[in-house]
Structure 1
Amino acid sequence: MKLIGPVARELENEQLVESIQHLYRQVDGIYGYRRITMTINRKREKEGLEKVNKKQIYRLMQICDLEAVIRRRPKKYRKGKPNYVAENVLAREFTSEKPNQKWCTDVTESKYGNGKEAYLSAIIDHYDKSIVSYILGHYNNNLVFKTIRPAINQLSKDVSPLLHSDRGYQYTPKEFKRIMEKAEMVHSMSRVGRCIDNGPIEAFWGTLKIEKYYLHKFDSLEALKHAIDTYILFYNNERYQETLNGLSPLGYRVQTA
């Protein structure tokens, strides 16, 4: 039986993500989305399959945070053993019936000055895709704690969102687990190697970088922070989205309250 509709698209995207990640590792990250598309389509052509659009490959690479690494040194990461991991409770159910029911969170890296690194941690609400809490800093280690605590503090006492993250070391220490338990929140984690499991926040990173970050050069952390503050204020209050009936995230929240 041939699958149609959203189920078929989901399966196709999953297969494409696996092909993209495999090819990206195979070439040590030197291919951008155009070469990835050409290589995948050449293989699909031999297998008698339809070609895929480069925009689709670009979108999936943005979700997986993959880009060509030409002229950049590959980073060396030391993997630590996590103190705990959680199941993928969210299971890609990205819609929500009300605010503060499902959140997802992640950290992304940015550059400023002469190649200096900064890290942005944020939480997005699945209901209206609004940014609930965020923080930018020099170091990655404690950002997630500084992001989750103010987000929890603004909740009503009877509200406990599900929080979804990847399995990064920032989200697996016992201290983070204690914060979740105290707030009576369920922690959900992406499966290993499945960046698409955290789709909404990954999609926001792509939007932020395309519409703000890639358009400018930032000489200082303060300049980068000002740009991010300005953009998120605009995104939450003025950036209209078709999926929100042509309203901004917070405009949608007010209208549907």
Structure 2
Amino acid sequence: MYSYEDRIRAVELYIKLGKRTSPTIRQLGYPTKNALKGWYREYQQRLDLPLGYARREPKFSQGQKAAAIEHYLAHDRCIAATMRAQGYPGRGTLTKWVREAFPEARMALVGSVSQRRYPESLKQTGVMELYTRQESAQAVADRLGVCRPTLYNWKNQLLGREAPASMKHNDQSPQARERDELERQVEILRHEVRQLRLEQDLLNKANELLKKGLGVDLQLLSNR
């Protein structure tokens, strides 16, 4: 609410500054451009302003309010996604608008994951894209038309909470590196065992031939 003194002060300063709205508002810290121009028009007509208090103009129009609520409903009922797309309002204001529009709805509004049902195929696609992404998780969520918390919730449902949310850096932990090194050493040992068995088989075969007196030259034997 603006008092009579507040409004007169604003109009007089507006006239003094050559009817420039921005410098006037910047110096006073109030009101909006439309309110200031309205007060000035009223002052011109009456050479004065009504006594008492004038209601402050709402920061957001009904059209903006309706657009924000419509986006909220169409995009997974996600407060954060609506704020990011619309560029307004604050979290508390948008939450208030939604509760006013749907007083019967009792749900966690702030950044919550909606209870809306999604097909399993979409969930699987979302988790696959989350793991193989070369972009942010938010970009993946936007492309699928869901909220980012919903995307992570699908990951938790399908793979468990302990599973990482990306294939990037999965093997960078010391435990993973140690496991990879042990697997490499095991493979080397398996190869050496195969070589030793092959050599043993060759020697056994050569020994059998020698016992038969065939005079086989060991140098002529090969892996084949």
Of Structure 1 and Structure 2, the greater strand share is in 1
- Report 1 or 2 for greater relative contact order, CA contacts < 8 Å, sequence distance ≥ 6: 1
Q: TM-score, normalised by structure 1?
A: 0.22
Where is the helix percentage greater, Structure 1 or Structure 2?
Answer: 2
Give the TM-score of the pair, scaled to structure 2. Answer: 0.25
